[in-house]
């Protein structure tokens, strides 16, 4: 029979994949057969060697073979099947709490089995609880696996055995699929960078030979993995460059600033713009004058003053007769921007309109009508701005704050949304993500980059200390002192699992603890499970000084501006990414008093954790923190990566693989020039959902 399955075929065509399994696979992002190939193991088991039972080590997973000498059901606290196995070098018990009648009948005296499990010692005897096991016929004894056994990321309802069988089939198809271009990278590229071809790379990572370097593999640094990471990074680059090219070919209204109005606005600001702000403003003005959409990323450390630049850009747009939409990641921030922009625009006569998800139907309807009106205005809101029923009268600029909450696709969808009569809006994205320039330009290669590399003058650097959790009582005194001086304190409860429920629980406990310890102080609580309205109320109380201490979960992470806050306490600091710590710490030190940050940690600290907290203590510079964190962190320490806003990839990890970037960029430029087919195929392989935008 001719095998018609190719890499592009849906996984549902594979034998044994029914509707239910297909849905499960889809949940892992596996739709096509080739997606199975790019679903890589995260560790490996060595089942190529048998361990004599006599030399098993406690806690060390091993493969053994032996004969069942005794098998019985025990009725104790829990019913269990207990078998005694021996191989001449020693004996081992196997304990099963869940077993079928078949298992009971087949695991009888004299049966020969092979087991994989982690031995432990129980009342002096070696045993394995629920090991993976197989009955072995006489002639297969001693015939172990020929390759290392992959362990894949999986989800409920999908066993490793199942996944191994599926990836095995996908590898077979890869080998047979002569139609599909399985190798997309040109030979000379592979040669230049000393990379293996796709087939060998995939075979190696899915079924490594017994002698493979396990450590290198589990760190993702093997050349076979690097080859795949290279290809994925390349596809991302190509896609972003294609998007960029496409937007350089569409029309956006060129808008020149009204110099008098602009000068007056800047004159009326409560401060002078910093040199960096002025420079970035030049970039923005320059972009807005062009008949193609501005696509600019404005990167500036926490507190560098991005909001005012957004306000100025919005003013230029309004003066030009268009609307500006300003999108914040949370209602809280939308509210804050609304207040700030309303203040700054007071003398301009342009209306500031607010649209959030929590408005009543009636207000919402009125607001939607206002937005449809083509006269100049600033419209501020959350994602709600870009829902279906919102239609802008004359949108000239989209401002996205803290873009790490939005992916590329969402950003592009916004541009399409704002488009009217072949007229694209300009787009300005603002982020505090402190990642180095090269990484930034890789991750956001479709955007131009401006950096605000200077803080407003007069800021007093936040003093940071790390404190063991066992000494948390000492902080109480510090809080009392701060409050006596009329300042406020934040206490942030963080958990790595990011289960909002657990965070809320931790925050409520802290709230109780603090209320007990500081009975005379006003303590507020804000967390993600609260209604937007209640959250806003608490934040407003905080801003207006009606609270002394604010206990919060990480909801306050982004952008909240309370100048009187001068003490920040962060729990579980050793487990957070440094970028996130930096963001959180940036909530204090915004006024002109000296501020402190206490990083609470759970001892004992690993050396790396200690070094990372030391970085936080030593510097307040987000860029330096990011650079040093990158040097320090091993692949085991990627917690907090999600907060950096880097795009998530299947194989590659920008932090781990950043050394590949220069060659990836060179390769991207080369391919765009020389091989459009290859470019298209690579984007299709890795980013099927983004090719509509690329349109190469
Ligand atoms: P971020 O870049 O983190 O969004 P903000 O825009 O919230 O920072 O600005 C932080 C604080 O600094 C605000 O209180 C703002 O009014 C103030 N600020 C902004 N620019 C200047 C400046 N040039 N001089 C003095 N203060 C400034
Ligand atoms: Mg901000």
Q: How far apart are CA 592 and CA 589, in angstroms?
A: 7
| 128 shares its domain with 204 | no
Q: CATH no. for residue 430?
A: 3.40.50.300
Task: Give the distance, in angstroms, between the CA of residue 175 and the centroid of all CA atoms in the same chain.
Answer: 34
Helix ranges (DSSP H) in 454-520: 473-484, 500-517
Q: How far apart are CA 625 and CA 322, in angstroms?
A: 40
Q: CATH no. for residue 136?
A: 2.40.50.140
Q: How far apart are CA 25 and CA 167, in angstroms?
A: 12
Ligand 1 contacts CB of residue 273 (under 6 A):
yes
Token digits of residue 252:
């956006």
In a domain, residue 426? The reply is: yes
Q: How far apart are CA 39 and CA 237, in angstroms?
A: 21
In a domain, residue 35? The reply is: yes
Residue whose C-alpha is closest to residue 656's, from 265, 315, 298, 229: 229
The DSSP code sequence of 379-426 is: EEESGGGGSTT---SSEEEEEEESGGGS-HHHHHHHHHHH-BTTBPPE
Global pTM?
0.75
Residue pointed to by tokens 């902080």: 475
User: What is the residue range of 186's domain?
Assistant: 2-41+164-219
Q: For ligand 1, atom 20, which residue shows the shortest CA distance? A: 305
Residue whose C-alpha is closest to residue 251's, from 303, 292, 203, 223: 292
Q: For ligand 1, atom 15, which residue shows the shortest CA distance? A: 305
In a domain, residue 324? The reply is: yes
From the CA of 272, give the closest atom in ligand 1. 23
Residue whose C-alpha is closest to residue 385's, from 417, 424, 343: 417
Q: How far apart are CA 538 and CA 469, in angstroms?
A: 27
| 487 shares its domain with 615 | yes
Q: 382 C-alpha to center of ligand 2: Å?
A: 14
CB 326 within 8 A of CB 310: yes
Q: Which ligand is nearest to the CA of 298?
A: 1
| 305 shares its domain with 432 | yes
Residue 331: the pLDDT is 79
Ligand 1 contacts CB of residue 431 (under 6 A):
no
CB 569 within 8 A of CB 475: yes
Ligand 1 contacts CB of residue 591 (under 6 A):
no
Residue 640: the pLDDT is 37
Q: 536 C-alpha to center of ligand 2: Å?
A: 17
* Antiparallel, parallel or unpaired: β 132-135 and 112-117: antiparallel
Q: How far apart are CA 548 and CA 366, in angstroms?
A: 38
The residues, any chain, with a CB within 8 Å of residue 268's CB and separated by 6 or more, are: 344, 347
In a domain, residue 306? The reply is: yes
In a domain, residue 329? The reply is: yes
What Å distances lie between residue 69 and 72, 89, 94, CA to CA?
A: 10, 14, 11
From the CA of 306, give the closest atom in ligand 1. 2
**Distance linking the first and last C-alpha atoms of the chain:** 38
What 3-state class would DSSP assign to 257?
Answer: coil
Q: How far apart are CA 363 and CA 342, in angstroms?
A: 19
Q: Which ligand is nearest to the CA of 281?
A: 1
| 517 shares its domain with 600 | yes
| 569 shares its domain with 438 | no
Residue pointed to by tokens 């040109």: 186
Q: 460 C-alpha to center of ligand 1: Å?
A: 14
CB 373 within 8 A of CB 390: no
| 445 shares its domain with 476 | no
Strand order in the sheet with 565-570: 463-468, 596-601, 565-570, 488-492, 549-552, 523-526
Q: 303 C-alpha to center of ligand 1: Å?
A: 5
Residue 556: the pLDDT is 64
Vertex 188: Cα angle to 183 and 189 (nearest 5):
70
| 384 shares its domain with 481 | no
Q: How far apart are CA 313 and CA 308, in angstroms?
A: 9
Q: Which ligand is nearest to the CA of 563?
A: 1
* Cis bond upstream, residue 604 (ω within 30): yes
Residue 641: the pLDDT is 39
Q: 547 C-alpha to center of ligand 1: Å?
A: 23
Ligand 1: which of 267, 307, 342 to mutate, most ligand atoms within 8 Å of CB? 307
From the CA of 273, give the closest atom in ligand 1. 23
| 377 shares its domain with 470 | no
Q: How far apart are CA 152 and CA 171, in angstroms?
A: 15
Residue 638: the pLDDT is 34
Ligand 1 contacts CB of residue 308 (under 6 A):
yes
Residue 328: the pLDDT is 87
Ligand 1 contacts CB of residue 590 (under 6 A):
yes
Q: For ligand 1, atom 1, which residue shows the shortest CA distance? A: 303
In a domain, residue 667? The reply is: no
In a domain, residue 236? The reply is: no
Residue 460: the pLDDT is 84
Ligand 1 contacts CB of residue 271 (under 6 A):
yes
Residue 403: the pLDDT is 59
**What are the counts of helices (DSSP H) followed by strands (DSSP E) for the chain?**
24, 22
Q: Which ligand is nearest to the CA of 272?
A: 1
Q: For ligand 1, atom 16, which residue shows the shortest CA distance? A: 305
Element (H, E) at 168: helix 160-176
Q: Which ligand is nearest to the CA of 330?
A: 2
CB 147 within 8 A of CB 168: no
Among 417, 452, 487, give the residue marking a domain's end. Answer: 452
Q: How far apart are CA 257 and CA 255, in angstroms?
A: 7
The residues, any chain, with a CB within 8 Å of residue 140's CB and separated by 6 or more, are: none
Ligand 1 contacts CB of residue 302 (under 6 A):
yes
Q: Which residues of the chain have pLDDT under 70?
A: 1-3, 178-181, 403-407, 421, 434, 495-500, 555-560, 630-648, 690-696
| 36 shares its domain with 80 | no
From the CA of 458, give the closest atom in ligand 1. 25
Q: 577 C-alpha to center of ligand 2: Å?
A: 19
CB 573 within 8 A of CB 599: yes
The residues, any chain, with a CB within 8 Å of residue 317's CB and separated by 6 or more, are: 255, 288, 323, 324, 376, 396, 397, 426
What 3-state class would DSSP assign to 534?
Answer: helix
Please tell me what DSSP assigns to residue 460.
Answer: P
- At what angle are helices 661-674 and 223-247 packed, to 10 degrees? 50
Cβ burial 286-319 (10 Å sphere, 16+ → b, else e): ebbeeeebbbbbbbbbbbbbbbbbbbbbbbbbbb
| 526 shares its domain with 448 | no
Q: For ligand 1, atom 4, which residue shows the shortest CA distance? A: 306
Number of domains the chain contains: 4
> 296: phi > 0 → left, psi -120 to 50 → alpha, else beta; which?
beta
The protein residues having their C-beta less than 5 angstroms from ligand 2 (an ion) are 559
> 589: phi > 0 → left, psi -120 to 50 → alpha, else beta; which?
left
In a domain, residue 156? The reply is: no
Q: For ligand 1, atom 9, which residue shows the shortest CA distance? A: 305
CB 242 within 8 A of CB 196: no
Q: How far apart are CA 349 and CA 264, in angstroms?
A: 13
Q: For ligand 1, atom 23, which residue shows the shortest CA distance? A: 273
| 372 shares its domain with 303 | yes
| 431 shares its domain with 469 | no
CB 5 within 8 A of CB 14: yes
From the CA of 561, give the closest atom in ligand 1. 7
């Amino acid at each position: 029979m001719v095998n018609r399955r190719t890499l592009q075929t849906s996984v549902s065509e594979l034998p044994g994949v029914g509707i239910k399994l297909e849905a499960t696979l889809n949940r892992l992002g596996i739709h096509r057969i080739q997606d199975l190939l790019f679903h890589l193991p995260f560790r490996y088991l060595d089942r190529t060697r048998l361990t004599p039972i006599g030399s098993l080590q406690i806690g060390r997973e091993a493969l053994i073979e032996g004969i069942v000498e005794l098998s019985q059901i025990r009725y104790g606290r829990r019913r269990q099947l207990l078998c005694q196995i021996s191989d001449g070098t020693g004996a081992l018990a196997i304990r099963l709490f869940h077993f079928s009648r078949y298992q009971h009948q087949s695991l009888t005296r004299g049966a020969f089995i092979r087991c994989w499990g982690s031995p432990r010692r129980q009342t002096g005897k070696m045993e394995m609880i629920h090991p993976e096991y197989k009955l072995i016929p006489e002639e297969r004894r001693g015939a172990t696996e020929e390759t290392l056994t992959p362990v894949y990321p999986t989800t409920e309802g999908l066993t490793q055995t199942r996944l191994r069988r599926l990836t095995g089939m996908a590898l077979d198809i890869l080998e047979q699929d002569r139609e599909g271009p399985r190798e997309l990278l040109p030979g000379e590229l592979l040669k230049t960078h000393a990379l293996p071809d796709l087939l060998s790379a995939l075979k190696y990572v899915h079924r490594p030979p017994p002698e493979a370097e396990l450590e290198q593999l589990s760190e993702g640094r093997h050349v076979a993995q690097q080859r795949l990471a290279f290809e994925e990074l390349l596809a991302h680059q190509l896609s972003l460059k294609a998007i960029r090219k496409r937007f350089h070919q569409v029309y956006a209204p060129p808008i020149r600033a009204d110099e008098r109005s602009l000068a007056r606005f800047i004159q009326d600001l409560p401060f002078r713009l910093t040199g960096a702000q002025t420079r970035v403003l030049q970039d923005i003005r320059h972009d807005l004058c062009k008949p193609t959409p501005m696509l600019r990323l404005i990167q500036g450390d926490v507190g560098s003053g991005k909001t005012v630049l957004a306000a100025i850009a919005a003013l230029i747009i309004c003066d030009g007769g268009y609307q500006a939409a300003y999108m914040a990641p949370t209602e809280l921030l939308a509210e804050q921007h609304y207040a700030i922009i309303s203040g700054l625009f007071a003398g301009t006569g342009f209306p500031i309109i607010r649209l959030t998800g929590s408005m009543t139907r009636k207000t919402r309807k009125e607001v939607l009508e206002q937005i449809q009106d083509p006269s100049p205005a600033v419209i501020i809101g959350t994602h709600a701005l870009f829902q279906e029923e919102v239609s802008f009268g004359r949108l000239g600029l989209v401002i996205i704050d803290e873009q790490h909450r939005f992916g590329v696709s969402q950003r592009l969808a916004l541009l399409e949304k704002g488009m009217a009569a072949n007229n694209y809006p300009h787009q300005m994205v603002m982020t505090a993500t402190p990642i180095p320039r090269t990484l930034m330009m890789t991750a956001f290669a479709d955007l131009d980059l401006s950096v605000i590399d200077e803080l407003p003058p007069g800021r007093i650097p936040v003093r940071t200390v790390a404190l063991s959790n066992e000494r948390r009582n000492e902080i109480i005194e510090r809080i009392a002192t701060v409050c006596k001086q009329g300042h406020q304190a934040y206490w942030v409860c963080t958990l790595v699992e990011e289960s909002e429920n657990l965070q809320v629980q931790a925050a409520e406990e802290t709230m109780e603890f603090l209320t007990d310890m500081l009975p005379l102080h006003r303590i507020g609580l804000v967390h993600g499970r609260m209604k937007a309205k209640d959250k806003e109320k608490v934040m407003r109380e905080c801003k207006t000084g009606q609270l002394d201490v604010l206990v919060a979960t990480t909801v306050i992470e982004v952008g909240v501006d309370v100048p009187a806050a001068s003490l920040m306490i962060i729990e579980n600091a050793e487990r957070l990414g440094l970028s996130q710590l930096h963001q959180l710490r940036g909530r204090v030190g915004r006024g002109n008093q000296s501020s402190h940050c206490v990083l609470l940690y759970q001892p004992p600290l690993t050396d790396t954790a200690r070094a990372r907290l030391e970085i936080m203590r030593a510097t307040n510079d987000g860029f330096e923190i990011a650079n040093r964190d990158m040097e320090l962190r091993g692949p085991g320490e990627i917690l907090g990566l999600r907060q950096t806003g880097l795009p998530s990839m299947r194989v590659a990890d920008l932090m781990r693989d950043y050394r590949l970037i220069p060659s990836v960029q060179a390769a991207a430029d080369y391919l765009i020039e020389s091989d459009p087919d290859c470019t298209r195929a690579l984007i299709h392989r890795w980013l099927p959902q983004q090719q509509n935008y690329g349109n190469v």
